[in-house]
Chain A
Amino acid sequence: MSALLETEALTVRFGGILANADISIGVNEGEILGLIGPNGAGKSTLFNLVAGTYRPTSGRIRFEGRDITRLPPAVRCKLGVARTFQVVKSFETMSVLENVVVGALVRFTSTRTAREEAYRVLDVTGLTRRAEANARDLTPPEKRRLEVARALATQPKLLLLDEVLTGLTPAEAQKGVELVRKIRELGVTVVMVEHVMEVVMPLVDRAIVLDLGRVLAQGAPQAIVRDPKVIQAYLGDRFHA
C-alpha cells in the first residue's frame, strides 16, 4: 500500500495553546483510518488542517505526493479530498437532491449529468426517498447522511468524516458503520474522527490516537485498545492494563 496522504511535522498554535505538535502520519490508500483521542486531544484541529480550514504554523501536508499545505478547501476538493462537518452544515432551503448536486458539480459541468450522479449517490447513502425534501426538514441522522452524500458526490479519493457516528442510536450507528464500509468498497479511502472507541474500533483498519496535540499511539485497533498509554489517556492514572 502506498501513502495517499502524508503529514510532516504538522504544528499549530492557537495563541499560547499548542493544538497540534509535530504530527507526522500517513494514510494508506484504501484503508479506513480512525483518528481517536479524548476531548481536546487535537483531532478536530488535525482534521481541519487536512481539509484546509486551518493553516498549520509549521509542517507540510502531501496528498498523492503533492504539497497541498497552502491550498484552499475548494482546490483540495477538486484534487479529491472531501469532508463532512461535525456540526452539520446543510444548505437548509435547498432540497436534498440539490444539496448533493452542488457536490457533483465539481466533477460535471452539465447539471443534468450532475443530477444523475446525485441520484446515484442518494441511492448509495439511502436517501433516495428524501430527494425532494428540503434539507431543513430532515431528521438529525438523515442530515448526517446528507453530509456524507454531498461529500461523496464530489467523487473523493479521500473522505474525511468528522464524528458522523457520534450521537446516533445504536441502530442508526450500525447503519452508519455499514455505509462507511460500503464507501470503502467504492474505492474511497476514509479517515474518521470519533471519540467513542467501541463504535469505531471494529470498523477501522488502523487507528491513530492523539493526546494533548501529539500522536500517542498508532496501529491495529486490537493492539491500540490494550496499549497502557492509551488506557491511561482515556481513563486517567488510576487505571492500568
Chain B
Amino acid sequence: MASAFETRRRNQLIIAAAVVAVMIALPLGVKDVYVQNILVLTVMYAALSQAWNILSGYCGQISLGHALYFGIGAYASTLLFVKFGIIPWFGMAAGGIFAAAIALLVGWPCFRLGGHYFTIATIVLAEIGLILFLNWSYAGEASGLQIPVSGDSWLTFTFLRSKLPYYYFALGLAAVVWLVTYFIEDSKWGYYWRAVRENTMAAQSLGVQVFRSKMAAAALSAFFTAIGGSFYAQFVSYIDPDSVMVFQFSLLMALPAVIGGIGTLWGPPLGAAILIPFTELTRSYMGGGGKGTDLIFYGAVIMIIALARPEGLLSLVTRTRHAPP
C-alpha cells in the first residue's frame, strides 16, 4: 500500500528530471534574443508562481500582493549592490530573508482576516509598498535605480552578450522551488497547509496550529518570491517602482498557478509554459496598435480556461481519483 504511494512520488521526481533535462537543452539552438527573452520569463514565472502557490495554493491564503515581496527582493539586492558594492548573490539572500520577515509582520494582523478580506489586505499592502518606494529618495524615487553592467561576470551576475546565464539561473530557481514544494507535500507542513485551506475549524480540532501554519507558508513563499525579484532586477538591470512593484506582477504570479492547477506541483510550471509565451506573442503580434486587441484576446483565453476548467489545465491529465465501487 505504502509502496504504491512511494512509486507515485518517485515518478514525479523522474518526470521533473526529464522536464529539467529538456529545459536545459531547449535554448541551446536558440540565437534569437527575443525568443531567449521569452524563455527566461517563462521559467522565471514558473518559479514565482510556484512560490505563490505555497501560500495561496497549498495553504489557501490567496495573496494578490506578492508584488510587494518581488519588489523588496529587487530593491534589496540592487540597493546593496549600487550603494554598498555588495555582490547580488548576498543581496539576493538578504532580500529573501527580509521579505520573509516582512511577510511575518504582514501576516501577524492579516491572518486574523478570513477569505476575501485577507486577499484585499494583501492588495492594499502591496499598494502601500509601491507608494513608499515611489517617494523614497534614497531608493531613487520614481526614477529608479540603474545596475552598473561592466561586462559578463558571474560574480556580479551581469551579462551583456547572452541571456543564457539568466535563463539557467531562473531554471535552477524554478527547479529548487519545485523541489522544495515536492518535499513539503509529504511533510507535516504540507498536510497542515492543505488542512487549513480545506477547513480551518476541522484542522484546529485535529491539533493543527492554524496561525503558525499560515505564517510558515507566508514566510517561505515571500522568501522565494524575493529571490525571483532580485533575479529580475539583475536581468533587466534597471528597476523603478512601476516596473517591479505594480499590481500586474501580483496577478502574473498568481495566474500561471491558477491556469495550470492551483495547489498542485505541476500547475505553476504548466501554466507558465502556456501563459507567458502566449502573453509575449500576442503582445508582439497583436499589440502596438493602441487598441488593446492583444489584451482582449488574452483576457478571453483566460476566461475560457477559467470557465471550462476551474481546477486548472492539469486536471485534464490527472483525473480525480476514484475508488473501486
Give chain A's interface residues, CB within 8 Å of chain B.
51, 53, 72-74, 77-78, 82-83, 85, 89-95, 98, 101-103, 105-106, 109, 111-112, 114-116, 119, 129-134, 137, 150-151, 153-154
Q: Are A91 and B202 in contact (CB under 8 A)?
A: yes
A83-B205 contact in complex given A102-B191, A111-B186, A134-B320, C-beta closer than 8 Å: yes
Which of these, A93, A98, A129, A137, contacts B191 with CB under 8 Å? A98
Smallest beta-carbon distance B58→chain A, Å: 11
> Which residues from chain A contact B210 at a C-beta distance below 8 Å?
74
CA distance A109 to B207 in the complex (A): 13
| The 7 nearest A-B residue pairs measured at CB | A106-B207, A133-B323, A91-B198, A77-B207, A89-B202, A73-B204, A89-B199
What is B's interface to A at a CB cutoff of 8 Å?
1-2, 5, 186-188, 191-192, 194-195, 198-199, 201-210, 263, 320-324
In the complex with contacts A105-B188, A133-B321, A154-B206 CB distance below 8 A: yes
Cα A54 to Cα B191 in complex, Å, equals: 26
A95, B321: Cβ atoms closer than 8 Å: yes
Which listed residue, B188, B199, B320, touches A109 by the CB 8 Å rule? B188
Tell me whether B206 and A85 are in contact (CB under 8 A).
no
What is the bound-complex CA distance between A134 and B311, given in angstroms? 15
Taking A102-B195, A105-B207, A130-B323 as known contacts, 10 extra A-B pairs with beta carbons closer than 8 A to each other, sorted by chain A number, are A74-B204, A74-B207, A91-B202, A93-B194, A102-B191, A114-B191, A115-B5, A132-B321, A150-B202, A153-B206
- 10 residue pairs from A and B, CB less than 8 Å apart: A53-B201, A93-B194, A94-B194, A102-B191, A106-B207, A112-B2, A115-B2, A150-B202, A151-B206, A153-B206
A102–B203 contact, CB under 8 A?
yes
Contact across chains for B198 and A105 when beta carbons are under 8 A apart: no
Give the docked Cα–Cα distance between A131 and B2 (Å): 11
